[in-house]
């Protein structure tokens, strides 16, 4: 978000700063034997030579990040302009979240809807550009052979986790404010459908403009995609905008403002999750006290990412803490709900809440497809694990150890509470100790009358499904297909 805000501010200048080469880059170009090509340049020879580099890439690495290629001597000190942008980002997040869902709920309408206005505007503009059709076709073209590659499925799953905020706690936090009988089945369908639609809309829009960039350079669309992620957002796309003949600064403002709004929306959700956890533990603290402390903590942690070696750390933490560990937690959550708490128990809980039976699709997905699928991908990832790198540069052993520490600390939280409750129930025999450790006897809806009604509903349903006349195999099959 700090980098996005930095680009947004610079987009208000008459001439986009990444559109032309700067004299300050001379020493770097001489040392690396590179030639800077202005992003405003057009033609097939502008970026095809091995010794050329676009001004948009140099602006990102040298002017914005002041990036280091080796962090063995440290990551450096925070860059003051990015630090200021980071502070403003967290300040906005604080004001949005300061009153909990009362304040963030009102702002969410703008955070959720306004990006669509900008995306549609950019899509209309992209559709008028030469070469846009080739870029859009490149985006939707399917390579079926990729479906046989496990790493593609791993990347797709982790992207879904990030896009839908699965495994980060935000969904649980927001849903905790719902009414007891809220139609969560409808919400799940709406959210996943809109997420897919948004991904397609943004993809078509971005690749349409990248198709125009490829057309101007006389190359195929795959040649202008700079590795994805930050490279796509802050190198390839700004490069394409700089080549626009009509008001490129306006489309730069729209694009980076959209990214910033989306970033605020994601950060507000994560910030709200942290606030809710702290307030549940310390209910005497006021909302603004909790929000200010968590925002200050987030800002201090974020300083690591606005240093010259910040992208190294961002990639490392994202790999171990934002991808791998979220994958593990999600796998544990699915297995814990479907296999430990039990698919039958979970389905009956939803049936009591929604007054309707859970369909076969959801039962099969929760009970078999999702956990087995995640386990297979996890095993493959562990077997094929390779030492992470950033832009081809290896991590020093000490920095890599930090990444492993992030992973171990995260997993330790889960293991710690398991062993804590095992130790707490140590006076019982082993089978009873394990049973009490994973006991759900205190689980249920709040309110005495509702709790008693729910308990009776569960007892009647379980007594009927666990009839002595039914074999264990038949009972499991009935659970999967929803028969009693």
* Whether the Cβ atoms of residue 425 and residue 433 lie closer than 8 Å to each other: yes
Which among 265, 281, 274, 320 has a CA at the least distance from the CA of 297? 274
3-state secondary structure the chain: CHHHHHHHHHCCCCCCHHHCCCHHHHHHHHHHCCEEECCCCCCCCCCCCCCEEEHHHHHHHHHHCCCCCCCCCCCCCCCHHHHHHHHHHHHHHHHHHCCCHHHHHHHHHHHHHHHHHHHHHHHHHHHCCCCHHHHHHHHHCCCHHHHHCHHHHHHHHHHHHHHHCCCCCHHHHHHCCCCCCCCHHHHHHHHHHHHHHHHHHHHHHHHHHHHHHHHHHCCCHHHCCCCCCHHHHHHHHHHHHHCCCCCHHHHHHHHHHHHHHHHHHHHHHHHHHHHHHHHHHCCCCCHHHHHHHHHHHHHHHHHHHHCCCHHHHHHHHHHHHHHHHHHHHHHHHHHHHHHHHHHHHHHHHHHHHHCCCCCHHHHHHHHHHHHHHHHHHHHHHHHCCCCCEECCEECCHHHHHHHHHHHHHHHHHHHHHHHHHHHHCCCCCHHHHHHHHCCCCCCCCCCHHHHHHHHHHHHHHHHHHCCCCCCHHHHHHHHHHCCC
Q: Which residues are annotated as a binding site?
A: 163, 262, 266
Q: Which residues are annotated as a binding site for Na(+)?
A: 163, 262, 266
Q: Characterize the bridge pairing of strands 393-394 and 389-390.
A: antiparallel
The token duo for 463 is 């007594």
* Whether the Cβ atoms of residue 159 and residue 241 lie closer than 8 Å to each other: no
* Whether the Cβ atoms of residue 414 and residue 326 lie closer than 8 Å to each other: no
């Amino acid at each position: 978000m700090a980098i996005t805000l930095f680009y947004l501010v610079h987009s208000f200048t008459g001439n986009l700063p990444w559109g032309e080469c700067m004299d300050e880059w001379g020493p770097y170009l001489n040392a690396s034997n590179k030639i800077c090509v202005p992003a405003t340049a057009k033609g097939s020879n502008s970026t095809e030579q091995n010794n050329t580099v676009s001004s948009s890439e140099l602006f990102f690495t040298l002017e914005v990040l002041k990036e280091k290629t080796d962090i063995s001597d440290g990551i450096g000190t925070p860059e003051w302009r990015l630090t200021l942008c980071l502070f403003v980002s967290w300040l906005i997040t604080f004001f949005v979240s300061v009153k909990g869902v009362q304040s963030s709920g009102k702002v969410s309408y703008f955070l959720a809807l306004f990006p669509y206005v900008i995306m549609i505007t950019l899509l209309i503009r992209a559709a008028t550009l030469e070469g846009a059709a080739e870029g859009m076709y490149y985006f939707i073209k399917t390579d079926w052979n990729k479906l046989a590659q496990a790493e593609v499925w791993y990347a797709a799953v982790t992207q879904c986790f990030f896009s839908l905020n699965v495994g980060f706690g935000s969904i649980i936090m927001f849903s905790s404010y719902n009414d007891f009988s809220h139609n969560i089945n409808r919400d799940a369908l709406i959210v996943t459908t809109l997420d897919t639609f948004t991904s397609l809309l943004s993809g078509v829009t971005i690749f349409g403009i990248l198709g125009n960039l490829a057309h101007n350079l006389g190359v195929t669309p795959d040649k202008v995609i700079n590795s994805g992620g930050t490279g796509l957002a802050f190198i390839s796309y700004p490069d394409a905008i700089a080549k626009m003949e009509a008001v490129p600064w306006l489309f730069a403002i729209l694009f980076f403002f959209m990214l910033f709004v989306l970033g605020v929306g994601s950060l507000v959700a994560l910030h709200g999750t942290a606030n809710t956890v702290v307030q549940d533990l310390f209910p005497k603290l006021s909302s603004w006290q909790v929000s200010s402390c968590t925002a200050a903590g987030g800002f201090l942690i974020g300083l690591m990412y606005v240093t010259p070696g910040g992208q190294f750390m961002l990639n490392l933490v994202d790999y171990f803490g934002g991808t791998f560990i979220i994958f593990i937690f999600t796998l544990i959550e699915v297995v814990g709900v479907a296999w430990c708490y039990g698919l039958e128990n979970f389905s009956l809980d939803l049936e009591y809440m929604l007054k309707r039976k859970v369909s076969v699709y959801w039962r099969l997905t929760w009970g078999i497809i999702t956990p087995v699928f995640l386990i297979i991908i996890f095993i493959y990832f562990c077997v094929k694990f390779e030492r992470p790198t950033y832009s081809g540069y290896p991590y020093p052993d000490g920095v890599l150890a930090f990444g492993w520490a992030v992973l171990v600390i995260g997993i330790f939280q889960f293991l710690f509470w398991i062993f804590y409750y095992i130790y707490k129930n140590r006076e019982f025999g082993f089978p009873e100790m394990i049973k009490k450790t994973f006991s759900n006897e205190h689980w249920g809806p709040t309110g005495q009358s509702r709790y008693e009604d729910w308990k009776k509903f569960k007892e009647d349903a379980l007594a009927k499904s666990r009839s002595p006349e039914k074999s264990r195999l038949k009972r499991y099959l009935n659970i999967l297909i929803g028969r009693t």
